[in-house]
């Protein structure tokens, strides 16, 4: 029973390039969350998606960042024209369904380094 999968695990980009991060939720899970973690800090919520819908993107910067969770395939977090401040670990989590007590299971993360 595979857990949440993320790729790539490490990504190096130069300033101005695009970064594309992928997340495959646990089998049967239809809810995906993206978090960002800066070094020595906690996790900051970015966006919550269900299949084909963005439910809550209140934590995602309005410029350069976008997220999708298509009917088929993984969820994608896209960062355009990356800057050094985007360097962080990006974690995806998934849950079985919406519910106030639903556990979120985290993937291994993508460590993004912007040169």
Partner 1 sequence: GQQVMQIPQYQHVQEGEDFTTYCNSSTTLSNIQWYKQRPGGHPVFLIQLVKSGEVKKQKRLTFQFGEAKKNSSLHITATQTTDVGTYFCAGPEFQGAQKLVFGQGTRLTINP
Query: Given the rule CB under 8 A, which residues bind partner 1?
Result: 31, 33, 35, 41-45, 48, 55-56, 58-59, 91, 95, 98, 100-109
Distance in Å from the first CA to the final CA of the chain: 37
Rounded Cα distance between 78 and 68, Å, is 9
Among 65, 26, 28, 30, CA closest to 45: 65
Which residue's CB is nearer to partner 1, number 81 or number 98?
98
Q: How far apart are CA 26 and CA 93, in angstroms?
A: 9
Name the residue nearer to partner 1 (CB basis): 17 or 104. 104
Residue 3: CB minimum distance to partner 1, A: 10
For residues 76 and 105, which CB has a smaller minimum distance to partner 1 in the complex?
A: 105
């Amino acid at each position: 029973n595979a857990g949440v999968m993320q790729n790539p695990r490490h990504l190096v980009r130069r300033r101005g390039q695009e970064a594309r991060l992928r997340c495959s939720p646990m089998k049967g899970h239809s809810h995906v969350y993206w978090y960002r973690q800066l070094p020595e800090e906690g996790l900051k919520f970015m966006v919550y998606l269900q299949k084909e819908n963005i439910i809550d993107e209140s934590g995602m910067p309005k410029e350069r960042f976008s997220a999708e969770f298509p009917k088929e395939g993984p969820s994608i977090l896209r960062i355009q024209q990356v800057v050094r401040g985007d360097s962080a670990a990006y974690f995806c989590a998934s849950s079985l369904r919406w519910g106030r007590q639903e556990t979120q299971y985290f993937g291994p993360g993508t460590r993004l380094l912007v040169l």
